[in-house]
Amino acid sequence: MQNLDELINCRSEQGRKTVEPCSIIIFGASGDLTSRKLVPALYQLFREGQMPAAFRVVGFARREKTDASWRVELRQALDQFSRTKPVEEPAWQAFAANLSYCQGDLTDAAAYQRLAQMLGSFSGGALQRNLLCYLATLPSQFGAIVEQLHQAGLLHKDSPDGWQRVVVEKPFGHDLDSARRLNQELIRFAHERQVFRIDHYLGKETVQNIMMFRFSNAIFERLWNREAIDHVQITVSEQLGVGQRGGYYEEAGALRDMVQNHLLQVMSLVAMEPPVTLEAESIRDEKVKLLKSIRPLRPEDAGKQVVRGQYRSGTIAGAPAPAYRQEPKVNPDSTVETYAALKLFVDNWRWSSVPFYLRTGKRLPLSTSEVRVQFRPTPSVLFAAQCNGGLAPNALTLRLQPNEGISLRFNGKVPGLSLGARPVRMHFGYDAEFGAYTPEAYERLLLDAVAGDATLFIRHDEVETAWGIADSIRHVWEGKPLSDGEFYAAGTWGPVAADELLAQSGHAWRNPQPIK
């Protein structure tokens, strides 16, 4: 009989992705993303034996640094941001030996030639041919970088030997037109299959588990349709305000920052049809089909289906919180939304007439993300008298973060001589079942990019379809002042108008509760 260590090793080997020796080039290597997320993720992958047998990580940025000074900076950042502490010195030393730095401006052709020479000096041909170019820069710089890479011979649409891939961070434009232009810039010098648009939200373990939950459990998949489900609520709430990101938020708002990407991504996974296979294109095909099935929002319907809000001063966890208009770099008369709620319909056979309620906001009571699937109520003919008019509807909640898990609510008899019912909960927690290990989103996404697995990355038509939905809402809000019903106090669950949005259909928000 196998012991526990052998079983763990067996599972680890089965889940290991096939990765080839390669060089990972990080553009914008002096930024926070590199020190806070990318290098800690690569270090963890190396520490756990997931990286290729041979690899190099090259930082490319304008500031003057040496290999040694860059390694010192990253070591200090790792002490702060590593998922596992303390940092294991032998593992770090072995990992750091693969780190190099190339100084240069993103628009300087000579700098890319120096980069090419550095890559050429690495022993092993695969380190020169297999290149993962991570663009941790402003989207406005994507086009210039891919062109310079192509001119320097580091990016080919049809490489005769090896592979080259480009990973780009969001935001993918600020509206449909800019997203289309950005996509055109990228595919001038790279095939669509070489472009990996990253949304860190899809790298979260519990977001990925939505597909596993749906398609590996017949008991739930058979109920996953209009016959059994009354409505679906998707909530992504944030306790923090905009802080020092007021300038960015004035340009983005909740619609661009969260709805267009994170919420629509989660909705597509919850509602899409089963893919033909687990290959990347099959899954992404179904996600795009779902997004294209969302009923278009006409201007005359938008007032009944979308709500915006902006936080005023209030109290968060017993501490005073300023209003959005009082935050640094925010216009004192700003009409930018810090809260958005949508009522969407999917016009296909499975979901006809089932409303999907999406909401996100800042300065809400909790920072949490969850999906609540509420089933249709039972007929009130048997227990109406004993239960004061009816039973609570069954509900399934997928908590994406924090305290990740799945809860099923159903009715049970209250102990005693009388016939009374009360909702009870059956709960599964990831930590309790699998232990505390949950990889960071960037670990999974970086490993997938190195392996060439695009399943958790966004395809160009997916980006453009989501922007089309967001733009139809944004056009309705543009130029209109906020009404009193659209403001909400910090520390509350949003504006009154959001409650009225659900009340139209006899529904009410299920506000997430703290889980201890």
Distance, first Cα to last Cα, the chain: 38
Q: What is the 3-state secondary structure (H, E, C) of 416-454?
A: CCCCCEEEEEEEEEHHHHHCCCCCCHHHHHHHHHHHCCC
Contact (Cβ atoms closer than 8 angstroms) between residue 239 and residue 361: no
* CA–CA dist 443, 432 (Å, integer): 22
C-alpha 72/C-alpha 196 separation (Å) is 30
Dihedral pair phi/psi, residue 474, rounded to 5°: -60, -40
Q: Residue 449: which of 51, 94, 101, 176 has the closest Cα?
A: 51
* Maximum alpha-carbon separation in the chain: 85
d(CA 327, CA 336): 12
User: 10 Å Cβ neighbour count for 490?
Assistant: 23
DSSP letter at 260?
I
Task: Determine the Cα–Cα distance for residues 366 and 354; give it in Å rounded to an integer.
Answer: 27
Which H/E stretch holds residue 201? none
Radius of gyration of the chain (CA): 25
Residue with tokens 């232990």: 435
The amino acid sitting at 156 is H
Active site residues: 262
Backbone angles phi, psi at 463, to 5 degrees: -60, -50
Which tokens in the block code for residue 78? 């790792």
Pick from 416, 418, 421, 417: which is nearest to 391 by CA?
Answer: 421
